[in-house]
Amino acid sequence: MDQKILSLAAEKTTDELQEFLQNLRVDDLANLLHAQAVKGRAAGALLRGIFRGSPCSKQAGALRRHKIYTFCIQLVESGDLQREVASEIIGLLMLEAHKFPGSLLVELATEFIDAIREGNLVNGKSLELLPVILTAVASKKETLTYRKGELSGEECKKQLIITLCSGRWDQQYVIQLTSLFKDVPLTAEEVEIVTEKVLKMFSKLNLQEIPPLVYQLLVLSSKGSRRSVLEGILAFFRELDKQHHEEQSGDELLDLITVPSGELRHVEGTVILHIVFAIKLDRDLGRELLKHLKTGQQGDHSKNLCPFTIALLLSVTRIQRFQEQVFDLLKTSVVKSYKDLQLLQGSKFLQNLVSQKSCVSSMILEVVKNSVHSWDHVTQGLVELGFLLMDSYGPKKILEGRTVEISSGLPVHQACKLGANILLETFKIHEMIRQEILEQVFNRVVTKASSPIVHFLDLLSSIVMYAPIVLQSCSSKITDTFDYLSFLPLPTVQGLLKSVQPLLKVSMSMRDSLILVLRKAMFASQLDARKSAVAGFLLLLKNFKVLGSLSSSQCSQSIGASQVHVDVHSRYNSVANETFCLEIMDSLRRCLGQQADVRIMLYEGFYDVLRRNSQLANSVMQTLLSQLKQLYEPRPDVLPPLKFEACIVTRGDQTCVQEPLAHLLCCIHHCLAYYKSRVMPLRQEEEEDEEGFYQDLDDMLESITNRMIKSELEDFELDKSSDFSQTTDIGIKNNLCTLLVMGVCEILIEYNFSISNFSKNKFEDILSLFMCYKKLSDILKEKASKGKTKTGAKTNDSLLSMKFVSGLLTALFRDSTQSHEEGLSVLRSSSDFMRHTVSVALQKVQQLRDTGHVSGPDGQNPDKIFQNLCDITRVLLWRYTSIPTSVEESGKKEKGKSISLLCLEGLQKIFDAVQLFYQPKIRQFLRALDVIENEEEAEVAVSQRAAFQIRQFQRSLLNLLSSQEEDFNSKEALLLVSVLSSLSKLLEPSSPQFLQMLSWTSKICKENSLEDAAFCKGLMNLLFSLHVLYKSPVSLLRDLSQDIHGQLGDIDEDVEVEKTNHFAMVNLRTAAPTVCLLVLSQAEKVLEEVDWLITKLKGQLSQEIISEEEASSQATPSNQSIEKAAIIQLGTLLTFFHELVQTALPSGSCVDALLKGLCKMYTILTSLVKYYIQVCWSSRGIPKNMEKLVKLSGSHLTPLCYSFISYVQNKKSTSLKSAGEKKKEKTAAVSTAMAKVLRETKPIPNLIFAIEQYEKFLIHLSKRSKVNLMQHMKLSTSRDFKIKGSILDVVLQEEEEEEEENEEGTASEHGGQDEEPAKKKRRKEMK
């Protein structure tokens, strides 16, 4: 039979074939076809013959064709056929599909769809036919019948697709079904239907099936619905990430997809690669991705950004076209996230409304962690983002040689820190990228020498500490960087060498390269290069220990061998280190012939060297002794004992210090003290002659002390009659010599105190030395005040060490030991000496606050500084609380500040410095201030300890306020408020101590009326800073505005204002400008918070509108509460402005600030109105309280704004008139008056524009909401800009007369030029 069919099919005509097939049953044909297909014989040829003999033009042929077609589909689907046979049959069926009449095509398609919906498919091979059938249906021109409806081919195809997508899809055919749609011509609506169906299937699939499905979906997106596809994929993985992160079970998704982290990350990585590849081919997809994420930025970023999204964005940066846009988006997101966090942390009002979501920074760091799973396409983007953040937001300002700390809480600084963390973590995980990170860091260190690079040095230090051995492979890059040391600024060199120091211990070649560079730099022509060489050599001496030196633990150096994770002495032993260190000492001795700056560095470094490497003591001390001998007068009767003049040289026309003698003595004293206390006890068996020169140094210092005491000012050739001017060589020389002598006196005071053992004679010597110091200091101050020179006015840094200052203060104020009493009474008898000691402590603390370290030994050691700071604070606190300023000042009046006031000033600076540099040690610091240490109280909360200290200062302030008005010390009150502000930052806002502090501050403001503007400002600032952490300050602002109105009166002189007196602190003297400006700045902050909330609401609304599933006719409860809170805030602020706008404010800053504040108020009101216009789109009306707010603005604010504008303009014309009367006397005065008027009236047009914009959008909202909101608005007529002819004629006539006078007069040309602009401005104003 089959041969017959084949032979008939080969003939030219089909008549016989048709006749033969007509006589056969379809079932027989089917069986024949099945038998041939299973055997793998000529099934294709047979099928071709059957189709040839079954033309669609005849009904019988069409039906036969349909039945055979259906049978073939089942045959292919059965899985009985070989692959090649099945493929051949499918190919034939595809070719024949277009020949079917429309009705049969619809029937075929329906059968297919029913099979899919009912899950009757066996292997899905036949699905390849569906796109051909659907395409064929769409191409039919005639009307087709589908489900009792008459439809065109296109409409029928759409209905078939809807039916297919509304049914159930078997999990195993989802990918195949998705892929088939790429071969069907689809409209945008049909693509959306298919996309929606496929996205719903994501959650039902195994995780491994997601990447191929995503690929098919992305291919499909080229037909449309790109946004929906991207949103769906991102939402799916965001949810998956969230659930995986929370590790919660029981969710439908997790029931199906329970996978280890590694598998999830690999799947995510594959999906990201698919998306990036699709974006490369279809740039519109990339644009949609960025557009979607930028829109989401306005609302809650956590709804859009997640680790997966960030990883995708970083991968997209590999596409040049999108690189800049993506990095800008990420940068903006990071900073916005930090700014939002800062705003939330600073406002209790916002904290109650908005929960703190996860920060973008934590998401990025999670991406770094996830990138370990072969995300090579992400790592390059991570590195670029890290450097971009560090470059964009690194420190910009240098303060006295030190970069401002990055650790401050500013968002940009946090962004910079995030950049460093990204790079460090990426460095740890990815070996391949390490070389590039290091290279880029070193490039920036070298090329950005002029700008602060401390953040890059910190990063380098962290990298080196993590893996010094790994970095040996990059040694060539490091040694290349060393070549630039001579050209880099000193702080950069110090930071760089400190960072790479652990590497020098494990790489001899690196160390040798550095020494070569430093030796060359030692003789460079630039001073900075020589200083860099000294810094480098000193660092090496500190870190290469010689056998027998004290251990690191005994020295507590911040950078030590512990940073290196290997035994650093395994290769280079201590004997080699000794030779190496002695060679360096030889090199450093040559520096003693160079400039003073180089020598000072050396003297300051020797103490640290000795402390770290005690075996070098002989070499160091010998060097210092020989240097001192050059300037020492050995004969005991010669006065002064040192050659001061030899220390100062004149080169050409410049006089400068050649030998910093005081620094030399300072170094000798500290090295000697350290040697005696730490080294000598361990060297009892040493030969006596070895210790000879230590005795020599002691004898010399003793001799210098005795002879300095005997010396008169004339012996130094310095007295009141000497020339101290900064313009003559002699004057400059005398100034320098005076400073040297004062420095020597300071060092001798410290030396004698250290060896005194509380001896009365030694303390008398100390007092004599101080008197010499004071005489010289007084002469300098006197000459400076007469000459009014800037250099003289600047106080020089004291050379006393911080440790000595803390010890001396403790002895003077707290030492009650009986045996010490007699000696200390000598020092205590001199109030000048005690005051000077406290002043030096203040100077040290100020230095710490400005730079993060102090001068002198251990000045770079944070732990030692902290310990000294605790001791100093304890003494100053006791002194201030025990002897109040009032008691001290009533005893005797002296020049300068009292000791108690100095103590208070010191405490204020210390509390600031501790919070700036020692935040983690706050608990330890407060515990150190307790008089009695109690082990049981070790765990007392910081808030309780801080509250105890606060109470002491509160008592002091209350005592001060209760004193007579003439006895009120404004400086002390201001300092006390400053101290209370600092300490209040340590209180937890939820603690009872915080509430007590707030109520106390509020009570002080309400009950005390002082006409001291500075004190009032400080106290009010404290009140507001506390209040915002408790609740919104709007009610406080309203009360204060009523007080200001009552004190200053109304703009209408006939109206008498009732004085409310909520806060006694607001009086006629302080109401304006002090309190007025303060409340306006606070109101601006509240408006910024409301603006932030409205922006957040708008963002959420736009996200809801975009995703129709989430859109609803009702606002979510959280949105309603935010809306309500924003309206209440604006309502209360409106009453605040209502009061101020009626107040007769004095011209100047208050009027300017109020006009700007009003302008901002109307701008925010307009923003809220725009939001409700958007809300009305989603068929939701406006709430009643919004209507009330609009009514309030129309009745209580807008009319009064125009009255206030008239009031300001009247004041302007009055001031112009008074200035005009004086015109003939002073032209400059008129110009000044007019400039002032112009400056004050400049914000008026901005305010009028803001009001008009508000009213314009209110009209729009009224139309949209069908509520007449304009019924409460009255359009004002005060803005009449008509040119009044009569006034104009008068003005022009006056000007003509003035011009005639000017022409006749003998006024200079310059004067005429000055006057002209004033006339022009006047003309403009009068119009």
Structural tokens at position 957? 């302030």
Q: To which residue do tokens 């919906």 refer?
A: 117
Q: Confidence class of residue 1315 from pLDDT cuts 50, 70 and 90?
A: very low
Answer yes or no: are the C-beta atoms of 326 and 316 closer than 8 Å: yes
Predicted local distance difference test score (pLDDT) of residue 467: 78
Long-range Cβ contact pairs of 676-682 (< 8 A, separation 24 or more): 678/550, 678/554, 678/614, 679/550, 679/614, 679/617, 682/550
DSSP letter for 1059, please.
Answer: P
Lowest mean per-residue pLDDT among 540-549, 621-630, 697-706, 989-998: 540-549
**If we measure between CA atoms, which residue out of 28, 89, 40, 91 comes closest to residue 64?**
28
pTM to 2 decimals?
0.83
Answer yes or no: are the C-beta atoms of 947 and 1014 closer than 8 Å: no
Q: How many CB atoms lie within 10 A of CB 683?
A: 14
Integer Rg of the chain from CA: 43
Structural tokens at position 727? 């313009």
Secondary structure (3-state) at 146 = strand
- The rounded distance, in Å, linking the Cα atoms of 498 and 658 is 29
DSSP secondary structure string for all residues of 295-312: HHHHS-GGGT--HHHHHH
Angle formed at CA 874 by CA 872 and CA 880, multiple of 5 degrees:
100
Angle formed at CA 953 by CA 948 and CA 957, multiple of 5 degrees:
145
How many angstroms from the chain centroid is the CA of residue 10? 83
DSSP secondary structure string for all residues of 598-663: HHHHHHHHHHHHHHH-GGGHHHHHHHHHHHHHTTB--STT-SSSB-TGGGEEEETTEEEESS-HHH
Structural tokens at position 748? 């001798």
Cα–Cα separations (whole angstroms), residue 1191 to 95, 242, 1259? 74, 45, 13
Residue 567 has pLDDT above 60, yes or no: no
Name the strand (E) or helix (H) holding 144. Answer: strand 144-146
Q: Confidence class of residue 815 from pLDDT cuts 50, 70 and 90?
A: confident
Q: Rounded to 5 degrees, what are φ and ψ at 863? A: -65, -45
High-pLDDT (> 70) share of the chain, %: 77
pLDDT one-digit tens code per residue, 59-79 = 666 676 667 677 777 666 676
High-pLDDT (> 90) share of the chain, %: 23
By CB atoms closer than 10 A (0-12, 13-18, 19+), residue 346 is middle
What is the average pLDDT across 382-404? 75
Sign of CA dihedral 6, 11, 13, 19: negative
Q: Which residues face 650 on adjacent strands?
A: 655
> Alpha helices of 282-399 — where are they, by DSSP H?
283-298, 307-316, 320-345, 348-353, 360-370, 376-393
- The rounded distance, in Å, linking the Cα atoms of 559 and 552 is 9
Predicted local distance difference test score (pLDDT) of residue 15: 62
Q: How far apart are the first and last CA of the chain?
A: 111
Q: Confidence class of residue 299 from pLDDT cuts 50, 70 and 90?
A: low
Q: How many CB atoms lie within 10 A of CB 805?
A: 26
Predicted local distance difference test score (pLDDT) of residue 1226: 52
**If we measure between CA atoms, which residue out of 53, 45, 1 comes closest to residue 22?**
53
CA dihedral 1116, 1121, 1123, 1125 (to 10 degrees): -170
Angle formed at CA 498 by CA 497 and CA 502, multiple of 5 degrees:
95
Q: To which residue do tokens 């007069």 refer?
A: 1305
Predicted local distance difference test score (pLDDT) of residue 788: 52
Lowest mean per-residue pLDDT among 401-415, 443-457, 903-917, 1061-1075: 401-415
Lowest mean per-residue pLDDT among 573-577, 622-626, 1209-1213, 1243-1247: 573-577
Buried b (16+ CB within 10 A) or exposed e, 4-42: ebeebbeeeebeebbebbeebebeebbebbbebbeeeeb
Answer yes or no: are the C-beta atoms of 599 and 659 closer than 8 Å: yes
Residue 1131 has pLDDT above 90, yes or no: yes
Secondary structure (3-state) at 1228 = helix
Q: Helix/strand/coil (H, E, C) string of 1002-1014? A: HHHHHHCCCCCHH
Residue 1258 has pLDDT above 70, yes or no: yes
Which amino acid appears at position 1045 of this protein? H
Residue 1000 has pLDDT above 90, yes or no: yes
Q: To which residue do tokens 């053992």 refer?
A: 757
Q: Confidence class of residue 1028 from pLDDT cuts 50, 70 and 90?
A: very high
Q: Are strands 402-403 and 398-399 parallel, antiparallel or unpaired?
A: antiparallel
What is the average pLDDT across 580-601? 84
**If we measure between CA atoms, which residue out of 93, 75, 6 comes closest to residue 39?**
75
Structural tokens at position 376? 């090579």
Residue 119: which region, alpha, beta or left (left: phi > 0; alpha: psi -120 to 50)?
left
Q: Confidence class of residue 1216 from pLDDT cuts 50, 70 and 90?
A: low
Q: How many CB atoms lie within 10 A of CB 433?
A: 18
Residue 674 has pLDDT above 90, yes or no: no
Q: Confidence class of residue 106 from pLDDT cuts 50, 70 and 90?
A: confident
**If we measure between CA atoms, which residue out of 1128, 275, 612, 761 comes closest to residue 620?**
612
Q: Which residue has the higher pLDDT, 1116 or 898?
A: 898
**If we measure between CA atoms, which residue out of 606, 491, 497, 501 comes closest to residue 544?**
501
Q: Which residues face 1050 on adjacent strands?
A: 1143
Answer yes or no: are the C-beta atoms of 746 and 800 closer than 8 Å: yes
- The rounded distance, in Å, linking the Cα atoms of 959 and 1005 is 15
Residue 546 has pLDDT above 80, yes or no: no
Residue 251 has pLDDT above 50, yes or no: no
Predicted local distance difference test score (pLDDT) of residue 1096: 87
Residue 98, C-beta contacts closer than 8 angstroms, at least 6 positions apart: 132, 136, 139
By CB atoms closer than 10 A (0-12, 13-18, 19+), residue 445 is buried
Predicted local distance difference test score (pLDDT) of residue 784: 75
Name the strand (E) or helix (H) holding 563. Answer: none
- The rounded distance, in Å, linking the Cα atoms of 474 and 496 is 15
Mean pLDDT for the chain overall: 80
Q: Confidence class of residue 13 from pLDDT cuts 50, 70 and 90?
A: low
By CB atoms closer than 10 A (0-12, 13-18, 19+), residue 103 is middle
Residue 117, C-beta contacts closer than 8 angstroms, at least 6 positions apart: 163, 164, 167, 168
What is the average pLDDT across 1288-1314? 58
Secondary structure (3-state) at 399 = strand
Answer yes or no: are the C-beta atoms of 257 and 361 closer than 8 Å: no
Helices (H) and strands (E) in the chain, counts: 58, 6
Lowest mean per-residue pLDDT among 37-41, 285-289, 728-732, 1079-1083: 37-41
Predicted local distance difference test score (pLDDT) of residue 36: 64
Answer yes or no: are the C-beta atoms of 1035 and 1129 closer than 8 Å: no
What is the average pLDDT across 833-838? 92
Which amino acid appears at position 1178 of this protein? S
Per-range mean pLDDT, top range of 7-21, 92-106, 717-731, 966-980: 966-980
Q: Which residues face 146 on adjacent strands?
A: 149
pLDDT one-digit tens code per residue, 856-873 = 888 888 999 999 999 999
Per-range mean pLDDT, top range of 141-145, 400-404, 576-580, 648-652: 648-652
What is the average pLDDT across 1295-1300? 67
Q: Confidence class of residue 46 from pLDDT cuts 50, 70 and 90?
A: low
Predicted local distance difference test score (pLDDT) of residue 570: 40
DSSP letter for 815, please.
Answer: -
Q: How many CB atoms lie within 10 A of CB 826?
A: 18
Cis ω for the linkage preceding 640 (within 30 of 0): yes
Answer yes or no: are the C-beta atoms of 525 and 594 closer than 8 Å: no
- The rounded distance, in Å, linking the Cα atoms of 804 and 588 is 28
Q: How many CA atoms lie within 13 A of 419 on its CB side?
A: 29
Cα–Cα separations (whole angstroms), residue 1080 to 17, 188, 1074, 1131, 1165? 99, 54, 10, 16, 17
What is the average pLDDT across 1068-1076? 89
Q: Confidence class of residue 1268 from pLDDT cuts 50, 70 and 90?
A: confident
